[in-house]
Structure formats: C-alpha cells, structure tokens
Amino acid sequence: MVDIPRHSVSASGILLDERRRVLVIQRRDNGNWEPPGGLLELDESIVHCLRREMREETGLSVAPVRLTGVYKNMRIGAVALVFRVRRLGGTLVTTDETADFAWWTEDDVRGKMREVYAARVLDALDAADPSVRAHDGVGLLAEDVPIEDPDRRQPTLD
C-alpha cells in the first residue's frame, strides 16, 4: 500500500472595497496581519470553508468570485487556496479570532504585511490567472529548488 501524504488545506478571501483597498485582519493568536481565512475541516467543501472562515473572522457573508492562487508552505506541508470574494452581507466586526481589521492599499500590503501573505493579496489584485507559489513560512521560494538550498528565495515583492 502507498502512503498518502497528509497536508493541511486552508481557504482565504480577498475582499476589496470601492476604493480597491483590501480587507485584512490582525490575528488574535499571533498578531499577524493577513487576509481572513482558515483551515478546511475534513467533512467540509472548500467553498463552505471559505464562507465559514470569512464569517468567523470578520462577521461578513461572502461568495467566491474566482480562485487567485495556490500556495504551499514547504516546511509544514500546508496548502492555502486564495479567492477573490464579493460581500453578500453581514457587519464587519472583530471576533474571538481577530484583534483588529483594516482596509489596506496595495502600498500598505507591500510595506506592512509579511511576504508570504502579501504575495497572496498582490496576486489577487494583479493576476488574471491563478498564481502557484511555494514558500517556507517566511519568504517565497524559487520554483523547483529544494528547501535546503540557501539560494532558494525568490526576489522580494518590491
């Protein structure tokens, strides 16, 4: 029998306001600013996870518009699916999972957000087709380079 690798999967939403600012949350558990989202449960569809996590972290009801990227953390085997979403309703609030929220410009994202999360937002703003990227939890990795390689990092997003 073949061993099937285990990966965790998450879904995150990129929501823009009328001024093309992106909704970001500050996570209560680690203080990071990032797009809202979280882990897919075993018995849950990807879209249900996206909607549930957006509601749990922001109070908003959303619908997916399109997949904008797939991101794999090569150190821990986590795969993140990122979607542009549209707002259906709800009231934006902090929750048990979020310490704060803000509407950030593209420049804010570039200057204030960790690279692995900034890439997700910037890809959603810019890319016509979904991006596929690998990272080590801190920075983006060059394609097809072993994680142990010291030259694995891609150029920064600046």
Q: What is the pLDDT of residue 17?
A: 98
Q: What is the CATH number of the domain that holds 38?
A: 3.90.79.10
* 69 in a structural domain: yes
Query: What pLDDT is attached to residue 50?
Result: 99
Q: Which domain holds residue 29?
A: 9-133
Whole-number pLDDT of residue 142: 82
pLDDT the model gives residue 157: 56
The reply to whether 146 falls in a domain is no
- pLDDT mean by block of 10 residues, the chain; 158 residues: 84 98 97 97 97 98 98 94 98 96 98 96 90 91 60 52
Domain count for the chain, please give it: 1
Residue 99 within any structural domain of the chain: yes
Residue 140 lies in a domain: no
Cα Rg of the chain (Å, integer): 15
**Domain-located, residue 128:** yes
Q: 85 in a domain, yes or no?
A: yes
**Residue 119 confidence (pLDDT):** 96
What is the spatial distance between Cα 77 and Cα 20, in angstroms, rounded to a whole number?
32
User: Residue 143 falls within a domain, yes or no?
Assistant: no
| In a domain? residue 49 | yes
pLDDT at residue number 128: 80
